[in-house]
Amino acid sequence: MSLKQQASQGSEINERLAALMTNANAIRAIASAVEGTLGPKGLDTMLVDQFGDVVITNDGVTILTRMEATHPAARMMINIARAQEEEVGDGTTTATVMTGQMVQTGVDLVAKGVPVARVIEGLRLGLKHALDLMEREAQAVNGLDDPRVRQVALVAGREHGDIADLVVQAAKLVGEEKLRDSFFKLSDTVEARENAQNVVFEGVIINKTPVNRQMPRRVENTAVLVLDDALEPEEIEDEALATEAGFSRYLQLQKEFKSNLHKLVELGVGLVLVDRSVADSAEEILTDAGIMVVQRVLNKELRKAAEHTGARMLKRTGLKKNKEELARYLGRARFVVYDEKLEQVWIREGAGKPMATILVGAATEEVVGERERIARDAAGAVQAAVKGGVVPGGGSLELWIAREVEKIRENVRGMSGHGVACVVEALKRPLAQIVENAGFNALEKIGDVIAAQSESGNKALGIDCDSGEVRDMLEAGVVDPAPVKIYALRAAGEIAEAILRIDTIIKKRDERHESKGATGDA
């Protein structure tokens, strides 16, 4: 082969690799942004916006979703991280770090001449085997009193013992059945406020103030009305109001509206939660009756209040019902308290489904957001552990699985065996990064753990980040929810395969601009 032919062939290879390298570099940049936060010795990241506002955080999903990223591959990574947070509530940093390593190993193999199709084939084989092993190793927790539940909260909560205790207490309040409900998220019960006291209580928080200061600040053993509408009379169009019949109808509606308000008073309603605005006439009547009214409540909070108090949400036309029928739509609460300092309404011990609220306090405004993120991570981890069990943490189980996955390469024919290395190296990465962040030599410590696991057969052996010695992670209380690990590994495999399959990047034409131009020409 002539030099010219060799140069031509090399140019073709470079062109084919260009898209892969570009995407891989973007993924690597994203992984680099969060890998320093992994583990108990992980450091914080400072995010600064164009106005100079600063967020300091150790939370992977916060870093990923708030960082500026324009590359399509980077946005893919960020979307997967967001999906992981929604699904299992934690593990986004682990998923990102494993993805970065999986893609990098795949790129290295392709650059050495292994066809992409064979790399992906091996990756799929390794990933399936790894996921099967991880699911098999999950250990169910024995109820919410199991000490491992608190340890999960402590690890996910970055060793904040006060937050771990709050989360476990809240989990016990709602119960295992509720935690297993796929539509319920314990992390949604977390609230954080400056100068608030750490507390968990049975009830919900409405982040609004009563309509006026003359309304009561505390109501006990009261009926609760939840109105998914405005508390106002039915409206009449201006044109109709200008006619005699229309004005007569307006007066009739005003009379009916006041009559409906008096029904609420007679039914013993002490709290009215309104989705939209409250009419002046309603405010006056209900204030005189000693009823607390809160307007413009967020729909999510409105629904939580209805569920907890046992109320059925009504539209304004529903107030026309007779008293007996209307009473069936009301909920009940033992206490309703307005905290003037925090500007919140607390609804406690409702007659409906049990709901817990975790209120986390912080000394300064800057710390509030991070304390809330920590508590949400801990809550998500506890719920995931209840649903799917726990596994040894600290990257120990992933390292053991990496060694098991490596064994299947012997039975894989052809070049597909090379693709298995993508999964093997990705599984080694969490322990390596945790050890590196703790200030130790990752290569040396991984060797120590592999030797110790091989000698003892103990899959839970990892590295103590304080001493650098090999230690049993289960005995040390370092446990992670199995669903978090499983989802992170599966997500890493999906992104890695998607990135490896792309060999061409083409800029799309602006169809919206063309469509507007065509419309204008017509």
DSSP string, 258-307: HHHHHHHHHTTEEEEEESS-B-HHHHHHHHHTT-EEE-S--HHHHHHHHH
Instruction: Return the pLDDT at 370.
Output: 87
Question: Are the C-beta atoms of residues 137 and 459 closer than 8 Å to each other?
Answer: yes
Instruction: Return the pLDDT at 63.
Output: 84
Instruction: Return the pLDDT at 512.
Output: 59
Whole-Å CA distances, 198 to 186, 201, 205, 383: 17, 10, 14, 20
d(CA 382, CA 168): 8
What's the one-letter identity of residue 479? V
- pLDDT < 70 regions, the chain: 1-16, 238-242, 504-522
What's the one-letter identity of residue 94? T
Helix-helix angle 442-456:396-407, to 10 degrees: 70
d(CA 73, CA 76): 5
Residues in the chain: 522
Instruction: Return the pLDDT at 514.
Output: 58
Question: Are the C-beta atoms of residues 191 and 357 closer than 8 Å to each other?
Answer: yes
d(CA 104, CA 35): 15
d(CA 228, CA 302): 8
d(CA 389, CA 486): 11
Question: Are the C-beta atoms of residues 492 and 84 closer than 8 Å to each other?
Answer: no
Q: What is the 3-state secondary structure (H, E, C) of 221-241?
A: EEEEEEECCCECCCCCCHHHH
d(CA 147, CA 156): 15
Q: Residue 465 burial by CB count (10 A; 0-12/13-18/19+): exposed, middle or buried?
A: buried
Q: Which residues of 40-73 are buried (b: 16+ CB within 10 A; e: fewer)?
A: bbbeebeeeeeeeeebebbbbbbbbeeeebeeeb
Helix (H) or strand (E) holding 199: strand 199-206
Query: Which positions ≥6 away from 5 have C-beta within 8 Å?
Result: none
User: Phi and psi for 311 in degrees, rounded to 5?
Assistant: -80, 150
Helix (H, G, I), strand (E, B) or coil at 52: coil
Query: Which positions ≥6 away from 403 have C-beta within 8 Å?
Result: 450, 453, 454
Q: Bridge-partner residues for 462, per DSSP? A: 471
Question: Are the C-beta atoms of residues 26 and 71 closer than 8 Å to each other?
Answer: yes
Question: Are the C-beta atoms of residues 333 and 306 closer than 8 Å to each other?
Answer: no
Q: Bridge-partner residues for 218, per DSSP? A: 337
Q: Report the chain's C-alpha Rg in angstroms.
A: 29
Helix (H, G, I), strand (E, B) or coil at 349: strand
Whole-Å CA distances, 150 to 40, 208, 346, 385: 16, 32, 27, 10
What domains are there in the chain, each with its CATH number? 3-139+390-501 (1.10.560.10), 202-362 (3.50.7.10)
d(CA 171, CA 386): 10
Instruction: Return the pLDDT at 12.
Output: 47
d(CA 290, CA 503): 69
User: Phi and psi for 202 in degrees, rounded to 5?
Assistant: -80, 110
User: Phi and psi for 385 in degrees, rounded to 5?
Assistant: -65, -40
Instruction: Return the pLDDT at 4.
Output: 44
Interior angle at CA 13, CA 11 and CA 18, nearest 5: 95
Helix (H) or strand (E) holding 187: none
Placement of tokens 């209380």 in the chain: 477
d(CA 395, CA 462): 7
Instruction: Return the pLDDT at 385.
Output: 95
d(CA 451, CA 6): 46
Whole-Å CA distances, 511 to 29, 75, 320, 521: 31, 21, 51, 15
DSSP code at position 506: -
| The two structure tokens encoding residue 429 | 């990465």
